[in-house]
């Protein structure tokens, strides 16, 4: 087991890469859209990470014209949510609902232990719930994340 | 030695894995014929636990640092192994407890306190171990439910034909039985009992403490709703037990032990429970014990449960045959083809304590007592029996020594 | 290293007993500052368990053969050691459970279900670990008793002056508090709370999970009625906890877990309970775990609890001093002379998860989270804190590395 | 630990010595006195050993003039009760109530593990309860032995 971890996180450069620090310190699409076409607040009660995501649809009622987030929490949760907003803007809701978390994790680009994984997908899970509500689609529950 | 069928495992070779056999007792090698009480431990299992403590130990879950991640992984890997062992659908349905007894209490308290009431019937069997008898008796008493017992026939098998009569006009809510009796070795038809229970709207609770170590057990094939077993009887460490339950039942249930790790949010006004399996795992988990259990499952899996069952079957046939040479011995329980590797007996005029003690002087360890089955002893009309029980490391020579010792006891005291 | 007071134990030397320190993490030696979650294990303890499995393993109690006698002796010797450890009057008052959480649940269920009702007040503190909070909340809810919380002052100490006001006109029945807080390290005046509880006719339940490993604890001096702790936090194995209770209370109580070994006679109509401690120890005991616990108690006893307490006190003074150099750090809890070896803190603008992760990359293991104390977190107005906690193997250099890592985290993310 | 036991029971000759076998096979003072000056039935529920002891006092109402026992159980329990009856006949009740179990165990003369010790003292404990009841004296309870 030791080996796996030895390679997994080998230093600051790996875990807190420039682009994560950049997204954490300069979040993209920060803020709140009011009134929103879709919205949800997600929270990981174990560590207190929080994000609120709001979405405005284009005229077709499907395409994400704008998406904004606010939140507080660890660098991973906030940076990954910031990255997420860039990834999904302009996509259709149905597409984002089928979005594979690995696509986001690739973007985050660092190896994550299970505890930190929850931080990294907080934004994605919250967004999916928001879109699911707005479009009536089902979304999988994540046992560790509370969404209102 | 008179066994001719070819064993599908090499018990003589496997014995080398068990350090306990390195010693002698009263100058004689140890014939450990009390595996139904608890099994001996292979080196591989002990080493897995020590290695865990030496390289990967920390409190599991929610730790951000590497050691805690490693420990969490090790615990969850053991859960996966336990899940596959009994062919459970999902690992989150597998709950670690301290022993099979606690697993059964968990169901009795958490399900029973909320779902039982006057007019309801809790049905156990005359063959039950106290651990699947007393919790139900107690919770039935607390809730006003009626507590009843399915009787045995003269051969030590369940009177399934009495089911309707015993429940009568009550509402059957719980049927609780073991899969293999620890006293008689009887293998019970749990699938049939489960079908009957479900027809009546009852849940079926299966005590598999004596089954999981010795044969392939499949919760789906049994059709039960809950199944309990202990680590220490299957080459694993003391201090860990397993409860499997169907997710929808576990999710609908109240929790049992409360405290750290089983909650989502705690407020003065209200607390919300965590998800499965954490909802039922309060406090620090038996982490090293889970690792040991996982290693034991691997160990047994490599030998193969079919081989283990076959080996024990041959031993029990052999033992029943050898005992039939002794007219002073009364044997209890069904014929070899319907029993596991357990032989209960009495010797005319010699108290079981004396039999066990004389055997001990010969280096043969058996149990003498009520085996936590007083209702069964009452039925048999005895205070105690001798019980010899076998496992993968048992060899026919040990049964020869057992029979020889019984002869001596009879000669000396009978 | 800036500590000048002479430590009364040689932590550098003791570290050699702990195999976990033989590895490195990210190329750095392990600074394990999470002993409040669970302690690391000395070789001596691991060897005692392995030796037990290899030479003396069998199911305890009632076995007539030698191995069973040896195992029974080993278990009972561990009970005696646990008894002396906390200066309990009698070994039969010492009950082995799976962890401190289960010990506290045992009291809440077995005492609470029968003795609580509407109009009664169960009082816990705002400082409680969930394990001494949620069971009482749950059982109070089930019985109709009122569940209340003694608040903390701004320094993280109990508002004992609020006792009367919080209970009001209710009948205080239970006062439950920890002796040492796992979040803040606060040492609580349990003796005074016990005296107050007894004046009001309530029982006093003391959660000593963070105390027994670190200082001499004396149940008679505390005057409590029940006291709980875990083996894994005091250099012992996972899978075992202890509940001590006053014999007259334990004897008058209903049992909790039911099944094998805890009964005298089992009949369909009625079951009678065994005597202490067996009445509360259903099923196969955590035998090897008890042996490990006994070995750990011996190990700590040889070092001396006064030396351990003094050592940790010096570390905590040193740590508080070093942290005061960092203006971005907020410290929680009382001054060093009223706290145990635990330091909770936050870093301005840096989430605890990030602090802990960055420290992990430096080989420094601390905990980040709510520490199973959500009511306290609510009071502090935070979702989580960082927590560093010390033990006999902690050296001041590790605190230097902690402080250095916090500086880095602040620079990188703050 | 192994050492202690190695010496403790080293064979049939030690554990089932001639005199134990003799008392087991030919119990002394077997039977029942009716009506009895004192009587009790003792039982060890764990193994089912049972003895019933009946006592007749001399005219002084104190001295054990006769004592008889019946029972079933293991050799140790039955033999030690038989030996006990020989030891106490002619003694005063108060004396027997203060009787040290070691005196009986010396007579039994073999090393006993804790489980078997209960067998060896079943008779003594039962007799003490019988005498205690008859004379109003207190006797210590033994948690593992039920006396009626
Ligand atoms: C104060 C306190 N009480 C109770 C517990 C629960 O201990 P365990 O998890 O061993 O049951 C802990 C440890 O987490 C603790 O720190
Ligand atoms: C059939 C059966 N059920 C339950 C138990 C209880 O197991 P444990 O003592 O490990 O809780 C046993 C073992 O003694 C058993 O044989």
Would you state the pLDDT for residue B319? 98
- Quick check: is A47 catalytic? yes
C48-84 per-position pLDDT tens digit: 999 999 999 999 877 789 999 999 999 999 999 999 9
Contact D114 C55 (CB under 8 A): no
Structural domain range at position B384? 11-32+304-413
- Contact assignment for C26 to A10 by CB distance below 8 Å: yes
For ligand 1, say whether the CB of C177 is within 6 Å of any of its atoms: no
Per-residue confidence (pLDDT) for residue D7, from 0 to 100: 38
pLDDT for the residue numbered D13: 57
Catalytically annotated residues of D: 47, 119
Question: Is residue C134 pLDDT above 90, yes or no?
Answer: yes
**pLDDT (mean) for C125-149:** 98
Strand partners, B149: B124
Query: Do B207 and B119 share a structural domain?
Result: yes
What is the band of A15 on the pLDDT scale with cuts at 50, 70, 90? low
Return the residue whose CA atom lies nearest to atom 12 of ligand 1.
C209
Write down which residue in B246, B274, B301 finishes a domain.
Answer: B301
Please pick, among B83, B224, B235, B372, the residue that the annotation labels catalytic: B372
* Chain B residues whose beta carbon lies within 8 Å of the beta carbon of residue D12: 358, 361, 408, 412
Write the pLDDT tens digit of every residue in A33-54: 999 999 999 988 777 789 999 9
CA distance B139 to B84: 31
Q: Give the pLDDT score at B77.
A: 98
Phi-psi region of C230 (alpha: psi -120 to 50; beta: other; left: phi over 0): beta
**Which of the other chains make 3 or more beta carbon contacts under 8 angstroms with chain D?**
B, C
Query: HSE (CB half, 13 Å, CA atoms) of C156?
Result: 27
Could you tell me if residue B2 is inside a domain? no
Q: Which has the closest alpha carbon to C125: C84, C87, C76, C166? A: C166
Interface test with B, best of C44, C70, C98, C268 (most B CBs within 10 A): C98
Is residue C230 in contact with ligand 1, taking CB distance under 6 Å? Answer: yes
For residue C71, the CA-to-ligand 2 centroid distance in Å is 17
* Closest ligand (CA of C60): 2
In this structure, the strands spanning C367-369 and C385-389 are: antiparallel
Query: If you measure from the C-alpha of residue C97 to the centroid of ligand 1, how many angstroms do you get, rounded to a whole number?
Result: 13
Whether residue B284 is found in the same domain as residue B369: no
| pLDDT computed for residue D8 by the predictor | 40
Q: Are residues B296 and B314 in the same domain?
A: no
Lowest mean pLDDT among A69-73, B312-316, C290-294: A69-73
Cβ-Cβ contacts under 8 Å, D74 against chain B: 351-354, 357
Do B111 and B259 share a structural domain? yes
Give the residue with greater pLDDT, C406 vs B8: C406
Quick check: bond before B277 cis, omega within 30?
A: yes
Q: What confidence tier does A18 reach under pLDDT thresholds 50, 70, 90?
A: confident
Cα B186 to chain centroid distance, Å, stands at 13
CB distance C99 to ligand 1 below 6 Å: yes
With a cut of 80, say whether residue C359 has pLDDT above it.
yes
Say if residue C24 is in the same domain as residue C68. no
Kindly tell me if the per-residue pLDDT of C85 is higher than 90.
yes
A4 has pLDDT over 70: no
> Which chain B residues are within 8 Å of C260, Cβ to Cβ?
101, 129-131, 372
Please list the residues that pair with B332 across neighbouring strands: B344
Looking at ligand 2, which residue's alpha carbon is closest to its atom 16? B182
ipTM: 0.92
pLDDT at B402: 98
Query: Is the distance from the beta carbon of residue C210 to the nearest atom of ligand 1 less than 6 Å?
Result: yes
> Residues C297, C362: one domain?
no
* More confident position, C2 or B131: B131
Task: Kindly report, residue by residue over B218-258, the tens digit of the pLDDT.
Answer: 999 999 999 999 999 999 999 999 999 999 999 999 999 99
Handedness of CA C8, C9, C12, C13 (dihedral sign): positive
CA distance C173 to chain A (A): 32
Does C3 score more than 70 pLDDT?
A: no
Cis peptide before D35 (omega within 30 of 0): yes
Q: Confirm if C213 and C233 have CB atoms less than 8 A apart.
A: yes
Percentage of residues in chain C having pLDDT higher than 70: 98
- Sketch the domain layout of chain D as residue ranges: 12-141
CB D76 to CB B26 under 8 A? no
- At C64 the pLDDT is 83
CA distance A25 to chain C (A): 8
Ranges in chain D, pLDDT < 50: 1-10
More confident residue, B104 or A3: B104
Q: What is the nearest CA distance from D48 to chain C, expressed in angstroms?
A: 11
| φ and ψ of A137, to 5 deg | -85, 155
* Mean predicted confidence (pLDDT) in A3-20: 56
> Given D6, D9, D73, which is nearest B351 (Cβ)?
D73
Q: Is the pLDDT of residue C351 over 70?
A: yes
C-alpha span between A23 and A33 (Å, rounded): 20
Q: How far does residue B246's CA lie from ligand 2's centre (Å)?
A: 21
Mean pLDDT of chain A: 86
Nearest CA to CA, how far is C44 from chain B (Å)? 12
- pLDDT tens for B201-219 read 999 999 999 999 999 999 9
- Give the pLDDT mean for C182-189: 97
Contact C38 B59 (CB under 8 A): yes
| Total domains in the fold of chain C | 2
Give ligand 2 pocket residues (Cβ under 6 A): B 99-101, 129, 131-132, 178, 182, 207, 209-210, 230, 232, 241, 372; C 260, 283-284
What per-residue confidence (pLDDT) applies to A12? Answer: 54
Q: Map tokens 């997420």 to a residue.
A: A84
pLDDT at D14: 60
Residues of A in contact with B73 (CB under 8 A): 1, 114
Question: Residue C383 and residue A119: Cβ atoms within 8 Å?
Answer: no
Q: At residue A3, does pLDDT exceed 60? A: no
In a domain, C204, yes or no: yes
B138 Cα–ligand 1 center, Å: 29
Q: Helix and strand tally (H, E) in chain A?
A: 7, 4
Q: What is the largest CA-CA distance in chain D?
A: 53
Q: Given ligand 1 and candidates B57, B63, B284, which is best to mutate, with the most ligand atoms within 8 Å of its CB?
A: B284
C-interface mutation test, from D16, D43, D113, most C Cβ less than 10 A away? D113
What is the residue-averaged pLDDT of chain B? 95
The pTM score is 0.94
Domain D12-141 classification at class level: alpha beta
Residues with Cβ within 8 Å of residue A82, at least 6 apart in sequence: A23, A24, A27, A28, A29, A30, A69
Burial of D11 per CB tally in 10 Å (0-12, 13-18, 19+): exposed
Instruction: Specify the pLDDT at position A2.
Output: 37
C-alpha closest to that of C192 among C144, C169, C159, C167: C159
Least confident residue range of B104-113, B265-274, B312-321, D138-147: D138-147
Angle between helix D101-108 and helix D75-88 axes, rounded to 10 deg: 120
Per DSSP, B314 falls in state: H
Say which CATH number the domain at B342 has.
3.90.1150.10
Q: Report the neighbours of B using a cutoff of 3 or more CB pairs below 8 angstroms.
A: A, C, D
Q: Does residue B38 lie in a domain region?
A: no
**Most distant CA pair in chain C, distance:** 71
- D73–B361: do the CB atoms touch at under 8 Å? no
Task: Tell me if there are at least 3 CB pairs under 8 Å linking chains D and A.
Answer: no
> What is the rounded CA–CA span in Å between residue C224 and residue C204?
5
Q: Is B83 a catalytic residue?
A: no
In angstroms, rounded to a whole number, what is the distance separating the alpha carbons of residues B78 and B56?
14
The domain boundary residue, chosen from B276, B301, B326: B301
pLDDT score for D143: 66
């Amino acid at each position: 087991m030791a080996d796996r971890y030895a390679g997994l996180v080998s230093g600051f450069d790996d875990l807190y890469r420039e682009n994560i620090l950049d997204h954490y310190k300069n979040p993209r699409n920060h803020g709140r859209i009011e009134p929103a076409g879709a919205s949800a607040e997600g929270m990981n009660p174990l560590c207190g990470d929080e994000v609120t995501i709001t979405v405005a649809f284009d005229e077709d009622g499907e395409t994400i014209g704008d998406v904004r987030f606010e939140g507080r929490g660890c660098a991973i949760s906030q940076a990954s949510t910031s990255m997420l907003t860039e990834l999904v803007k302009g996509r259709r809701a149905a597409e984002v609902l089928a979005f594979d978390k690995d696509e986001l994790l690739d973007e985050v680009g660092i190896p994550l232990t299970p505890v930190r994984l929850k931080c990294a997908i907080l934004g994605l899970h919250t967004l999916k719930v928001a879109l699911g509500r707005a479009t009536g689609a089902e979304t999988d529950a994540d046992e560790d994340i509370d969404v209102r | 030695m008179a066994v001719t069928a070819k064993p599908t495992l090499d018990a003589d070779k496997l014995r080398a894995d068990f350090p306990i056999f390195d010693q002698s007792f009263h100058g004689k090698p140890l014939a450990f014929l009390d595996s139904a009480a608890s099994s001996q431990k292979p080196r591989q299992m002990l080493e897995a636990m020590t290695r865990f403590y030496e390289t990967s130990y920390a409190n599991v879950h929610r730790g951000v640092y590497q050691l805690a991640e490693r420990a969490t992984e090790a615990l969850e890997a053991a859960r996966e192994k336990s899940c596959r062992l009994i062919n459970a659908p999902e690992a989150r349905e597998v709950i670690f407890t301290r022993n099979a007894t606690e697993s059964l209490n968990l169901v009795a308290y958490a399900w029973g306190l909320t779902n039982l009431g006057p007019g309801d019937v809790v049905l156990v069997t005359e063959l039950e171990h106290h651990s699947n008898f007393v919790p139900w008796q107690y919770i039935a008493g607390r809730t006003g439910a009626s507590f009843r017992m399915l009787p045995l026939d003269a051969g030590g098998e369940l009177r399934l034909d009495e089911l309707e009569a015993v429940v009568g006009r009550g509402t059957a809510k719980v049927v609780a039985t073991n899969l293999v009796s620890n006293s008689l070795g009887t293998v019970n038809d749990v699938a049939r009992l489960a079908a009957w229970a479900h027809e009546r709207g009852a849940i079926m609770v299966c005590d598999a403490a004596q089954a999981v170590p010795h044969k392939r057990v499949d919760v789906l094939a049994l059709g039960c709703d809950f199944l309990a077993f202990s680590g220490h009887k299957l080459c694993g460490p003391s201090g860990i037990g397993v409860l499997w339950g169907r997710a929808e039942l576990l999710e609908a249930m109240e929790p049992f032990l409360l405290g750290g790790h089983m909650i989502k949010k705690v407020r003065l006004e209200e607390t919300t429970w965590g998800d499965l399996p954490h909802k039922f795992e309060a406090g620090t988990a038996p982490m090293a014990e889970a690792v040991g259990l996982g290693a034991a499952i691997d160990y047994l899996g490599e030998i193969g449960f079919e081989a283990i069952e076959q080996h024990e079957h041959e031993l029990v046939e052999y033992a029943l045959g050898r005992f039939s040479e002794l007219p002073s011995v009364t044997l209890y329980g069904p014929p070899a083809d319907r029993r596991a590797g357990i032989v209960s007996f009495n010797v005319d005029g010699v108290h079981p304590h004396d039999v066990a003690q004389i055997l001990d002087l010969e280096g043969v360890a058996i149990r003498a007592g009520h085996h936590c089955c007083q209702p069964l002893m009452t039925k048999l009309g005895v205070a105690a029996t001798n019980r010899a029980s076998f496992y993968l490391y048992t060899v026919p020579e040990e049964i020869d020594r057992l029979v020889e010792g019984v002869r001596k006891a009879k000669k000396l005291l009978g």
